[in-house]
Each structure stands twice: as C-alpha cells, then as structure tokens.
Amino acid sequence: MKAVRCNICARDFKTDKLNAKIRCPNCNSNDSFSIRELPVQWDGNVLKKLIKDNKFKITNLSLYLCVTRQSIANWINGMCPKGMHLVGLCRYFDVLPEVFFTEKTERR
C-alpha cells in the first residue's frame, strides 16, 4: 500500500496500484504524484495464527530455524525477527514476507 499525493489538486489518497496506473480519485489526473510506501510493522499475531491454523509445533519450527523456542515466543509477542529468520519463516509457511506486516497505525 502506498500513500499518494496528487500534485495537481494536492489531495492525499492510498493505493496499491502500480505507479503507471494511478489516477487521482479527486481530479481524475494521472499526471503527477508524490508517492511513498506506507510504514509497516511486524505483527506477531500473524505468526501465532499460522502456527495454530496449520497445527505446527513451535519445537519443530525452532529446530528448522535453529533458534530457541523463546525466540519464537518473542516474535509472537511482537519482536521482529532478523532478516534470515524472516526468510526462513516465509519458506516454512510458504508465504510472502509482507503477510507478517501490518500498516503502522498512528497510535502510540
């Protein structure tokens, strides 16, 4: 998801389209935009749900990733895993990395 500002009418909106296909919902311009990726944050609940839904064992996952069970508990509780472990998690669950991240809210 991207945050987009139309440079014609200065309206802000969100889109997940490719740059070339963006059209301003306000003035219908497809001319000039300022675009940035929206910040995202690790969401441990996604990992928790994947383990539960697939009936995986945390012990097996910890062996697969060569980490302690405590590390996995920390990830479930909101600590973001290091890149190599994130790649391992994606392979283990056969998912894309972005499923583990949610859009950052302005709260806290």
3 state DSSP class of 54: coil
CA neighbor of 72 nearest in space, from 5, 80, 17: 80
CB of 4 to Zn ion, least distance (A): 10
> Considering only residues 3-62, where is the footprint of Zn ion by CB under 5 A?
6, 8-9, 11, 24, 26-27, 29
**Count residues contacting Zn ion (CB under 5 A)?**
8
d(CA 32, CA 29): 8
Nearer to Zn ion by Cβ, of 4 and 47: the residue is 4
Q: How far is the CB of 5 from Zn ion (least distance, A)?
A: 9
| Nearer of residues 27 and 66 to Zn ion, judged by Cβ | 27
Taking the CA atoms of the chain, what radius of gyration do you get in angstroms?
Answer: 19
Beta strands in 1-108 (DSSP E): 2-6, 12-15, 33-37, 40-42, 101-103
**Please, what is the minimum distance in Å from the beta carbon of residue 103 to Zn ion?**
23
Judged by the rule CB under 5 A, the positions of this chain that interact with Zn ion are 6, 8-9, 11, 24, 26-27, 29
